Amino acid sequence: MKSNFLFIFAFLLFMQCNSQKTKKSFKQSTTFENIEKLKGKWYNTLLKVQKNGTETNLKMECQGKSYWEIAETDGRHNLIKHFATGKNCTLHEIKTGGLNFTNGNLNYTENDIRKSETLQKLSDKQFKISEKSFLNGESILVENYYEKK
């Protein structure tokens, strides 16, 4: 009886000590660490629109041909937006200036307008940009998904 009691006490003590061990969490960051992680070509793969609680995936005519290119030239980072439009998916370029990346925001100048895009990291090779807008007087949420290839 005494040995059973001692065994139960040792077992309970062991269980109590194990429950106090710290668990490591590997929660993925929701932002990129720096602009170096963003270098390369990021293709627009999906466009989602949310209106009145309904989510719609929009199929773009030139799906997968439009992309953002982030590169470094002479120690400065540049963003060039490539848009495919029209029947033949003709590519057009928009060059930007003053590119920097701070606190998850990609800041740049496009046609004399200062822009700031908040990137939400989905993985090391995917991010999305969410933007609130209005359509026919109603609030909508537009989400652009990008993938590095």
Token pair, residue 107, equals 């800041």
Among left, alpha and beta (phi > 0; psi -120 to 50; other), residue 125 is alpha
Write down the residue that tokens 């590997």 correspond to: 26
Using DSSP, state whether 46 is helix, strand or coil. Answer: strand
Backbone angles phi, psi at 18, to 5 degrees: -65, -35
Q: Per-residue pLDDT for 8 more than 60?
A: no
Chain-centroid distance, C-alpha 114: 21
* Residues 77-128 pLDDT 10s: 999 999 998 889 999 999 999 899 998 899 999 999 999 999 999 999 999 9
Q: Is the CB of residue 95 less than 8 Å from the CB of residue 68? A: no
Percent above pLDDT 70 for the chain: 81
Residue 4 in this model has a pLDDT that exceeds 80? no
pLDDT of 28 over the 80 cut: no
pLDDT, tens only, 30-89: 888 889 999 999 999 999 999 888 888 887 788 788 999 999 988 899 999 999 988 899
pLDDT of residue 16: 64
Asked if the model's pLDDT at residue 12 lies above 60, the reply is no
Average confidence (pLDDT) over 2-13: 53
Identify the structural domains of the chain with CATH numbers, from first to last: 35-148 (2.40.128.20)
Would the pTM count as exceeding 0.85?
no
Statement: residue 5 has pLDDT above 90: no
Give pLDDT, residue 64.
Answer: 82
